[in-house]
Amino acid sequence: MSKAEAKQNINGILLVNKPKGLSSNGVLQRVKHLFHAKKAGHTGSLDPMATGMLPICFGEATKFCQYLLDADKCYETTALLGIKTNTADATGEIIARVDEFTVSEEALQQTIVAFCGKIKQIPSMFSALKHQGTPLYKYARLGVEIERSARDVSIHQLQVNRFDGQEIDLTVSCSKGTYIRNLVEDIGEQLGTYAHVTRLHRRYTAGFSDEPMYTLEELDCKSAAQLFDCLLPMDLAVNYLPRLDLDHEAVQALRLGKIINQQALGGASGCYRLYGPELQFVGLGDMSSDGVLKVRRLLNV
């Protein structure tokens, strides 16, 4: 049997607890090999130094990767005050430091409040954002600075869990596109000193806060049947969208590229999760204000 024949068509979502030191793509390749999967992709890179939830989408679930990329995230992080690095984390070179400083608990709490809500961030040069098709971090390693525009992000929650005058443990709930390293660095500057990230752990991606995630060591010890038991259904990636149940004829019409009138159902306009007559998830559709439904994304299963 050839390698191509040995690959399996697998559909579902796996939540991996990414270890420190591995890239997100490195984790993806390990898991893809473990499942002998034909197709897989991860949703939202974590830096090699970061740990925590990395959703891996298999097969048809890759059609919904973007929805997980766009989802809110929750992180735990540790910030060390007094030191600035070129990467804003512990993997970088120290470029500035203040050996003597005093930050009170009161000053920290007041600063934290100022960073809650909608804020603007200028992405780090040591990020995966691309300029003319090349990640910014590759320019940074060559000493090339690319002008970046400030981006709007939302900090839903910013909680201090521990503060000893130098180290701060934080829980951050935020919108997509938020860079925790930048946030920590900006907090340090607001406190009149420097700061960088020494620990970063993604607790969860929105929609999966109550779901188990697995370490690579745990997955390595599982049988094929046990591995498949770890997979979550694809529609969990879009579980926040309203649901629409359709009969067999409507599903077939959508598969043929037709639009159908669902005005009698009285649904509001927007994107819907679509389910067939046997309650199986079939994809996503867009409903217009006059009740016309058309396909956005259908599963090929």
pLDDT in tens, 33-55: 999 999 999 987 898 999 999 99
Q: Are residues 142 and 216 in the same domain?
A: no
Q: Are residues 90 and 145 in the same domain?
A: yes
- The pLDDT tens digits for 260-299 are 988 767 678 999 999 999 889 999 999 998 889 999 999 9
C-alpha of 50 from chain center: 13
> What total number of domains does the chain contain?
3
Q: Are residues 9 and 128 in the same domain?
A: no
Q: Are residues 122 and 134 in the same domain?
A: yes
Q: Are residues 130 and 230 in the same domain?
A: no
Q: Which residues of 277-299 are buried (b: 16+ CB within 10 A; e: fewer)?
A: eeeebbbbbebeeebebebebbb
Q: Are residues 182 and 275 in the same domain?
A: no
User: What single-letter amino acid sits at 187?
Assistant: I
Q: Are residues 77 and 199 in the same domain?
A: yes
**Range of 184's domain?**
73-205
pLDDT of residue 1: 40
Q: Are residues 223 and 273 in the same domain?
A: no
- The span from the CA of 145 to the CA of 239, in Å, is 40
Angle between helices 105-114 and 180-190 (to 10 degrees): 130
- Residue found by looking up tokens 């003597």 in the block: 100
Q: 9: number of CA atoms within 13 Å, CB side?
A: 3
- The span from the CA of 174 to the CA of 155, in Å, is 4
Q: Are residues 11 and 122 in the same domain?
A: no
Q: Are residues 59 and 86 in the same domain?
A: no
- The pLDDT tens digits for 105-117 are 999 999 999 999 9
Give the H/E segment covering residue 210: none
CATH number at residue 17: 3.30.2350.10
The phi, psi pair for 86, rounded to 5°, reads -70, -15
Q: What residues act catalytically?
A: 47
Mean pLDDT of 229-256: 94
User: What single-letter amino acid sits at 68?
Assistant: L
- The span from the CA of 103 to the CA of 97, in Å, is 15
- The span from the CA of 130 to the CA of 125, in Å, is 10
Q: Are residues 172 and 78 in the same domain?
A: yes
Q: Are residues 200 and 82 in the same domain?
A: yes
Cα R_g (the chain), whole angstroms = 22
Concatenate the DSSP letters of all residues of 81-106 into one string.
Answer: ETEEETTSBTTS-EEEE-SS----HH
Of the residues 186, 205, 224, the one at which a domain ends: 205
State whether residue 117 is helix, strand or coil. strand
